[in-house]
Amino acid sequence: MFKQVLSKIIKAGRTSISTPLLYSRAVLYFLVFFTLSEVAYFVNQNDTSSVMTLVLIGLLTSFFNKNMVIILFTALVFTNLLRLAMPKQDYILSEGFEDKLETAPIKTSADKTSSHKKEDKEQADATLSLKEDFDEFQTVQKKILESMNDLNPLLDKAEAFIQKYEQYKNVKDK
């Protein structure tokens, strides 16, 4: 009895309208276009989990059915259902951004002049710091030049030593 009821349900599910749709190229092309647009949307939204879900559901469906219309339709439906059922996980991709609206204070003319004074003071401090750094740089440069002058006699001795041994090399080769 159970088998008879089950066979009647299966036969009722197979109507003459649904069979041509399952093998229609127009429906297949529409689903391919829609699937590609969904993938492009997921990539644009940086939703890699939905892309992977779509691919995995399509892969699993292909093991049970070889009809591409059914595979694409099932993958699209289940991916969108899972996407709607799951809470958004934007917190994984964000880096400490607080979702608070901060209002900028309205500056008056007195605030503007005080901000200009602060900027001028900061600029003067930066100039003073640069002058101090330049003085330090000059002293280091003088020390380097003095060291180079101290190295000149050593370099002259090294050159004389090299020339002396080059003469011995020439004598040895003869």
What confidence tens digit (pLDDT) does each residue in 18-68 have? 678 888 899 999 999 999 999 999 999 998 999 999 999 999 999 999 999
Q: What b/e string do you get for 92-105 counting C-beta neighbours within 10 Å, with b at 16 or more? A: eeeeeeeeeeeeee
Q: What b/e string do you get for 135-145 counting C-beta neighbours within 10 Å, with b at 16 or more? A: eeeeeeeeeee
Length of the chain: 174
Q: Is the pLDDT of residue 15 over 60?
A: no
Q: Cβ distance 21 to 69 under 8 Å? A: yes
> Is residue 67 helix, strand or coil?
coil
